[in-house]
Amino acid sequence: MEVIVTQNAQDMSLTAARVVAKVLNTKPNAVLGLATGSTPLGLYQELVRMHQDEGLDFSQVTTFNLDEYVGLTRKHPQSYHYFMYENLFKHINIPKQNIFIPSGTTDNYEAFCQWYEQRIVECGGIDLQILGIGSDGHIAFNEPSSSLGSRTRIKTLAKQTIDDNARFFDAPEQVPIYAITMGVGTILEARRLLLLANGVNKAAAIAATIEGPVTSMITASALQLHRNAMVIVDRDAASQLKMLDYYEWIQAKMPDAP
Ligand code: PGA
């Protein structure tokens, strides 16, 4: 796993945006996997800026989002549909038909989940999957004890996740209990993974992800099984890493590496 330690959340976002831009410049019709939450907001702001100021082109890009709350309509301000349109899609030139987000309001979740998985394959698979991490070590809504082979399905949110996400709702009881989410197995099939984390409340989860055992109790630890996974963290999120000096040493030596 490649670990990049940045000075702060803004540097984390700018570094991640450069990775995404490089993918799009190399492959203009890339398939991106996208995440929601507070972590990728700075990344999306920078991609919007790159689109507006530098002409970063999304006209051939396809996107698949990781997850959505069950029961929230696409117009609900806390739905991930709403989040994605407000924070990214309405500011860039991506065609609407190229945007895929799990439905929180389908009347047949099983069929929808199968269709979503199939659609990813039909689009050629995900080239670069952006990920955040929960304080319980989840990726997407794959809560502790999720199978590392899991596919897109309904998950019951952990109490920790509901508590963490209550800040976005008027009251904790309004946080949905169920979500539709890509599985860990689905995520591992992306060609590249890019996990972002900032803040001290992610430090334990980041240490467990990078340096702990591969375990379904920290679903992000499955990144250790992926051949092309990069983690970009700020100093706070990196603060519990035992090998921090080594990661910084690698970064410092990178320009001269053979
Ligand atoms: P956050 O959520 O970016 O809002 O911290 C991350 C996650 O739960 O995956």
Per-residue pLDDT tens for 86-141?
A: 999 999 999 999 999 999 999 999 999 999 999 999 999 999 999 999 999 999 99
Q: Is 133 in the pocket of ligand 1 (CB under 6 A)?
A: yes
Mean pLDDT on 63-76: 97
Sheet architecture: strand order including 31-34? 2-6, 229-234, 192-197, 128-131, 31-34, 62-65, 99-100
Per-residue pLDDT tens for 161-207?
A: 999 899 999 998 999 999 999 999 999 999 999 999 999 999 999 99
Q: Is 39 in the pocket of ligand 1 (CB under 6 A)?
A: yes
Q: What CATH number is attached to the domain comprising 188?
A: 3.40.50.1360
Given the residues 46, 68, 143, 164, the one annotated as active site:
143
Pairing of strands 178-181, 67-69: antiparallel
Residue located via tokens 């992000």: 220
Put simply, whether the predicted model's pTM sits higher than 0.85 gets the answer yes
Nearest-angstrom CA–CA distance, 224 and 94 = 32
Q: Is 181 in the pocket of ligand 1 (CB under 6 A)?
A: no
Ligand 1 center from residue 211 Cα (angstroms) = 20
Q: Is the pLDDT of residue 257 over 90?
A: no
Share of the chain above pLDDT 90, in %: 96
Q: How many domains does the chain have?
A: 1
Residues 50, 56 contacting (CB under 8 angstroms) = yes
Residues 9, 46 contacting (CB under 8 angstroms) = no
Domain encompassing residue 165: 2-256
Q: Taking the mean position of all CA atoms in its chain, how far away is CA 213?
A: 21
Ligand 1 center from residue 149 Cα (angstroms) = 22
Residue 227 pLDDT: 97
Q: Taking the mean position of all CA atoms in its chain, how far away is CA 50?
A: 20
Q: Helix crossing, 41-54 with 80-87: angle to 10°? A: 40
